[in-house]
Amino acid sequence: MPHSPSFACRLIAWQKTSGRHGLAWQVSDPYCVWLSEIMLQQTQVATVSAYYPRFLAAFPNVHALAAAAQDEVLALWAGLGYYSRARNLHKAAQQIVSDFGGTFPAERRELETLCGVGRSTAAAIAAFAFKQRETILDGNVKRVLCRVFALDGNPADKAFEQQLWTVAESLLPECADDMPAYTQGLMDLGATVCKRSKPDCPACPMTDICQAKAQNRTAELPRRKVSAAVPEVPLFWLKLTNGKGEILLVKRPQQGIWAGLYCLPCFDDETALHRFAAAWGIAPVHLRADTPVKHRLTHRLLRIAPFAATLPDPHPTPECNGTWVSANALANHGLPKPLARYLAPSNL
DNA sequence: AACACGGGGTC
DNA sequence: GACCCAGTGTT
């Protein structure tokens, strides 16, 4: 196992002089730390910066969040992606109230019982808010460790993953007071110096102990994941407008893509869309085909064919759990990014 | 172990 | 267009 007594010292000193400071969530309040850590999962700092203050203003503490409606939470999360994070955040706020009397626990193990909080996020909260000697292990840290110690393993391999946790734990500083700066340093080093491509080795505090650099292997470590093929999925949207200029939105189920968000009536095939339109008294000839929307997710390529129609007068009113929403009320609803773009191309 | 789950940044 | 990002939960 790699052991480097100087690793933590170097990192802490570097963070204090050259790390990132002044980010809105660099505070010791566990609620703020937790919220930021969830937002930052698989999401870059620049993206989160626009969402974090808005969300915190709406839900300034865990009680406010626990008492909110899921729709309010999702409306503030809309566009950020990975919406299970928002649903779990909401659930976890209620867990904090019900299971912990409204106060965040300081132990990593207890934090891990919260919905949406895995080991790394629990460790980040424990380290930043409670100065616990727990290690994070995110994409940045993995890259730093794989390079500094020339760890050459398959990222999909469970045993290799476990090895990374063990290495990360072995590097923790002895003094608990150093945990916030150390943890921030791990993230900062990976994000600003030990980047995936073109690492800035001359600026790195580990440059003279880095084994990947010594072996001229920074470009090949960490090893890449093997990426799977991304299947294409056709989708059909119906933009139905009533006499008041309102649009029909339907809340999506709690499972699957865009779970819990609001969307236009959405169909797997055109026949199903026609059937739905017919129930509102709209014949296929009155459906206007709009410009197709291509939207890439990590694991799917959505090819969306939007249709538009105006409700005839009079018209039948079929059983429908949708809601009619005016243009200026769209912002109150959590919409998937491509739908927000389609309905209001101006606010990108 | 593999897959589901968004959206954007970067090269 | 490919790869990655302050990952977690399900199967």
Query: In total, how many domains does chain A have?
Result: 2
Task: Round and report the angstrom distance from CA (A80) to C1' (C10).
Answer: 22
Measured CA to C1', the nucleotide nearest A198 is B11
Does residue A204 sit in the same domain as residue A248? no
Mean pLDDT of chain A: 94
Does residue A50 sit in the same domain as residue A146? yes
Task: Round and report the angstrom distance from CA (A46) to C1' (B8).
Answer: 9
Predicted pLDDT at A228: 81
Does residue A295 sit in the same domain as residue A183? no
Q: Kindly report each contact of residues A167-174 with a partner whose C-beta sits within 8 Å and lies 24 or more positions away, as own/partner.
A: A167/A1, A167/A2, A168/A135, A168/A136, A168/A137, A168/A141, A169/A135, A170/A1, A170/A2, A170/A3, A171/A4, A171/A7, A171/A8, A171/A135, A172/A8, A172/A133, A172/A134, A172/A135, A173/A8, A173/A9, A173/A12, A173/A133, A174/A8
- Whether A169 sits among the annotated catalytic residues: the reply is no
Instruction: With cut-offs at 50, 70 and 90, classify the pLDDT of residue A3.
Output: low
Domain that holds residue A183: 5-214
pLDDT in tens, A160-178: 999 999 999 999 999 999 9
Domain boundary (A214, A241, A274) is at A214
pLDDT in tens, A270-314: 999 999 999 999 999 999 999 999 999 999 999 999 999 999 999
Measured CA to C1', the nucleotide nearest A33 is C6
Does residue A197 sit in the same domain as residue A247? no
Task: Round and report the angstrom distance from CA (A150) to C1' (C1).
Answer: 29
Does residue A210 sit in the same domain as residue A255? no
pLDDT in tens, A18-46: 999 999 999 999 999 999 999 999 999 99
Does residue A72 sit in the same domain as residue A111? yes
Predicted pLDDT at A348: 46
Looking at the predicted structure, is the pLDDT value of residue A118 above 80? yes
Does residue A205 sit in the same domain as residue A261? no
Domain boundary (A187, A214, A241) is at A214
